[in-house]
Amino acid sequence: MGDVRVGIIGVGWGAHVQVPAFRAAGGYEPVALCARRPERLARAAGRVGIEDTSTDWRSFVRRDDLDVISVATPTALHAEITIAALAAGKAVLCEKPLATDPGQARAMVRAAQASGRPTGCCFENRWSPAWLAVSERVRSGILGIPYLARVSRSASYWHPSRPLQARWMYDRSQGGGYLAGMLVHDLDYLCTLLGPPEAVCAEVRSSIPVRRLPGGEELRVTADDTAALLMRMASGALAVLSVSVVGAHADHFRLELFGADGTIVGDGELRDTRYRAGEARAEGLVELPPADRRPSAPEQLAGGLAGEASRAMALMLEDWVPAFDGRPSPIPTFADGLLSLAVIEAAHRSSEGGGWVPVRP
């Protein structure tokens, strides 16, 4: 395969994470950027060294010189842009969450199937060094019959002491909230390890329902800052997931996987979690080192959090390459994105009084 020419729509995450990821992966060439606001687009293009820019996504997705459209816009725009790009014959990579609701996601799945083009949803955290190592141990059978998976995340992003984030993030109808924005990665990951969930019981809430903007305007918050889910998995295991971003000075992540034959535990800060694993017949848990897989051009990666995300995405992109020759690829599909949204919708229905709600993608 020659280099695949990539056009990226959205210059927040798209410029900071996706451009270096495509460059680090090898086999791709990010050549064009698209965004609504000319000033922001120009700044991002200058920073990443891409001169070809556009503010019109409709004409952008129809360009004959682009092979892949990567959609990194706010969530509310994902479905329309993705479906248009597929209709134009492009391969499409779409950020998570795939859409604002399962109905939009189903339309995207149908469009992808009809187009026959390579598609993928950006659950790149599956390719983080630690999670690659955990996945390998689970595939090797360390758990045996799975009993319980438990994940918890905490951060301070929406605590009143912190500055406000982008306005759309407080609006559930635009894809805002941390169940869809953060815990969805853990939800997706547990499904890769244990299979799909059958039913969900949950509490999802906005702890601070009104935020005051700098000019004095009151912003009504409809997106969640805190969620707790119980999931009955098809494998027979129980999964427990929680997230909260309203803890002052909070910065914690924990993963526990229990099975008949062994245990895996990760604990630490969000970006510095240490993992241990052990078989039931062993004397205890021992350190589980992260995978050492590197992308083709690691020199393209920046440092810090953006660099970590770019590295994981670059590895995912390398595993997407076979799809362009019609071969199988392990990267997350639009169907995976739909499944996560079906779980989120069931969680909201449960929180509104539905009790245990079946998951129906």
List all residues 6 or more positions away from 149 whose beta carbon is below 8 Å from its beta carbon.
190, 193, 194, 233, 237, 238, 239, 240, 255, 256, 257, 258
Residue 238: inside a domain = yes
Residue 313: inside a domain = no
Q: Which of 304, 292, 8 lies closest to 127, judged by CA? A: 292
Pairing of strands 28-34, 91-95: unpaired
Instruction: Give the end of a domain, one of 107, 125, 143.
Output: 125
How long a stretch of residues is the chain? 361
Q: Write down the pTM of the prediction.
A: 0.95
Residues 109 and 169 in one domain: no
Residues 148 and 109 in one domain: no
Residue 310: inside a domain = no
Residues 181 and 279 in one domain: yes
Residue 215: inside a domain = yes
Residues 108 and 152 in one domain: no
pLDDT in tens, the chain (361 residues): 569 999 999 999 999 999 999 999 989 999 999 999 999 999 999 999 999 999 999 999 999 999 999 999 999 999 999 999 999 999 999 999 999 999 999 999 999 999 999 999 999 999 999 999 999 999 999 999 999 999 999 999 999 999 999 899 999 998 899 999 999 999 999 999 999 999 999 999 999 999 998 888 999 999 999 999 999 999 999 999 999 999 999 999 999 999 999 999 999 999 899 999 999 999 999 999 999 999 999 999 988 888 999 999 999 999 999 999 999 999 999 999 999 999 999 999 999 999 999 999 9
CATH number of the domain where residue 249 is located: 3.30.360.10
Residue 308: inside a domain = no
- Range of the structural domain that residue 15 is part of: 4-125
Residues 25 and 70 in one domain: yes
pLDDT given at position 214: 86
Q: Which of 109, 69, 81 lies closest to 340, judged by CA? A: 109
Total number of domains in the chain: 2
Residues 113 and 137 in one domain: no
220 class by beta-carbon count within 10 Å (0-12 exposed, 13-18 middle, 19+ buried): exposed
CATH number of the domain where residue 120 is located: 3.40.50.720
Q: Which two tokens stand for residue 319?
A: 């595993």
Residues 151 and 268 in one domain: yes
Residue 319: inside a domain = no
Contact by Cβ (8 Å): 228, 241? yes
Residues 346 and 269 in one domain: yes
Instruction: Give the end of a domain, one of 90, 125, 160.
Output: 125
Residues 262 and 175 in one domain: yes
Instruction: Give the end of a domain, one of 96, 125, 154.
Output: 125
List all residues 6 or more positions away from 228 whose beta carbon is below 8 Å from its beta carbon.
202, 203, 240, 241, 242
pLDDT given at position 305: 85
Q: Which of 62, 54, 57 lies closest to 78, judged by CA? A: 57
